[in-house]
Amino acid sequence: MNTFLIVLAFCVVLSTTTTTTAFSFFDDNILNGLILQNDTVTIDLASIDYGHIVKVNPEAVLSPTSLNDIQSLIKAVNDNNSSSTLSSAPKTVAARGQGHSVRGQSTAEKGIVVNMTSLGSLGRRIVVVPNSLLGPYADVGGEQIWINVLVETLKHGLSPISWTDYLGLSVGGTLSNAGISGQAFRVGPQIANVYELDVITGKGDLVTCSRIKEPELFYSVLGGLGQFGIITRARIPLTKAPNKVKWLRLFYTDFSVFSRDQERLISLNGRMREKGGVEYVEGFLLMKQGPLDLSFYSVPDQLRITTLVAQSDVVYVLELAKYVDTAPVDEDLEVLLKGLGFIPGFAFSKDVTYLEFLNRVAADEEKLRKLGLWEVPHPWLNLFIPKSRMSEFNSGVFVNILLQKKVPVGVFIVYPLNRNKWDDKMSGVIPNDEEVFYTVALLHSSTAEEVEAFDGVNNQILEFCRVARIPVKQYLPHYETQPDWINHFGSKWPSFQRSKLTFDPNKILAPGQKIFN
């Protein structure tokens, strides 16, 4: 008889049918009455992610009340899948934090989704340690979102070092990818700024790992797309938080000058406190087909910018930030600006708090939610591109495909990163060889009817890169076949595959990535 017995209990609450599933075993010590949910509302919430493109129904959802619940589930699924009497497809398990994937990566078709947010009810899941032999750090639950981590650390005058642009993401989610933003050129991605992890492996073992202790698991999990384990705690290094931020945007119509200035700024990362050094460098595009988000600028400046974009077709905006402690930075910025080639009269700045700067996307999120434009399809394409091929990519993609096809501009981000700030032992994949590579993020929003057209544009961009032999790597990757994944990981594939066999031999974790399933 199959040991994966299901007992359904039905109850009516407020005229809504709610079903829970209790997984029972002959040996009660294995699971001991773990309760799963499979009511319509819960399944619907777990079936779709931020992308709103892929809808995949799990069989059930676990909202754990302890780490032991997750371990018990994973061990039970392993036992079920190993049963000689198994008559159905093997079960899989997907950990879901904020569900901010865009192609169903946090889903588990006919499997079990673990609602990691329920761990937030366990008590102190963000613990700040201002003084230790390591220096200041925070122990943070994998389900915690970065804005809450920031708010808690700021109470001590401290802050994590590396960030993502959007702080509504979970710690475990970003560490399973890479976690990048405009600070990464000087401090590396978030995966390079972790002391220690607690991980529940695909065998159900709770393991504490670091660069010294269980290093194979540590390096595999960071950037590992959830394939080897579920991150339940991360020890994050902290640094002194600045008081304020000088936030600047500089305008260009010549991509070569724009990219030259970006690369000059990230080359100063070792001297960031000296004149000319900055803490954050990004960039984005304004295109004549719009729409244009000009909320950063005054009304008179908005009129000038609109005219410039209409005349130039494409405007490149270099965004940078200088952190302010107590000393003024105006003199430093004057020296910096004199060495850059932006359009005279098109330099704009704001003085904001550190919290306002890091949480800058929250204001956009609030506006979009009010307009009903947040929970719409997001056919995104994120790429890493070698520096030597960016000029070709600009002319072939930005100027040709996007401009000529009049593709509506969502948020089109472009900025360089330094390879030496990444640890190649980790699973995260970046282009080989060159010391500088670019992030290009085409963050589209669309209607359901437009998704196919946007995907067509994304595929045309990827085909352009293939024909031109531009060795791009996808960030937040999405592939449908294992050969594509093998090509994506390149030389890392053998170790990636070996780690899967070591830590998740039955291949139950993160099925939505479609790497091994």
CATH number of 244-477: 3.40.462.10
pLDDT value for 272 = 43
Q: Which residue has the tokens 């009497």?
A: 85
Give the amino acid at 11. C
Is the pLDDT confidence value at 340 over 90?
yes
Cα distance between residue 510 and residue 94, in whole Å: 5
Q: Taking 50 as the threshold, does the pLDDT of residue 31 lie above it?
A: no
Segment 24-33 shows an average pLDDT of 43
282 noted as active-site residue: yes
Q: Of residues 233 and 8, which shows the higher confidence score? A: 233
Class of domain 120-241: alpha beta
> Where does 29-98 show beta strands of DSSP type E?
34-37, 60-62, 93-96
User: 402: which DSSP letter?
Assistant: I
Q: Is 424 a catalytic residue?
A: no
Please state the pTM of the whole predicted model.
Answer: 0.92
Q: At what angle do helices 493-503 and 482-489 cross, to 10 degrees?
A: 120
Q: Using H for helix, E for strand and C for coil, what is the string for 359-373? A: CCHHHHHHHHHHCCC
Domain boundaries, the chain: 30-118, 120-241, 244-477
Which residue from 262, 247, 506 is spatially nearest to 351, judged by alpha carbons? Answer: 247
The least confident of 117-121, 227-231, 357-361, 396-400 is 117-121
Q: Kindly report the number of other CB atoms within 10 A of residue 455's CB atom.
A: 16
187 has a pLDDT exceeding 50: yes
The DSSP call for residue 305 is H
User: By C-alpha distance, which of 412, 101, 416 is closest to 268?
Assistant: 416
CA distance linking residue 426 with residue 434, whole number of Å: 18
Q: Is 361 exposed, middle or buried (0-12, 13-18, 19+ CB in 10 A)?
A: middle
pLDDT(480) > 70 = yes
Q: What burial letters (b/e) apply to 392-424, b meaning 16+ CB within 10 Å?
A: ebbebbbeebbbeeebbbbbbbbbbbbbebbee
Which of 165, 205, 216, 455 is catalytic? The answer is 165
Q: Strand 93-96 and strand 112-115: pairing? A: parallel
Q: Specify the residue for token string 């099925």.
A: 511
Of 100, 378, 444, 478, catalytic: 100
**Which of the residues 69, 198, 261, 282 is marked catalytic?**
282
Instruction: Please report which confidence band the pLDDT of residue 19 belongs to, taking 50, 70 and 90 as the band edges.
Output: low
Architecture of domain 30-118: 2-Layer Sandwich (3.30)
Is 165 among the residues known to form the active site?
Answer: yes
Banded pLDDT at 91 (limits 50, 70, 90): very high
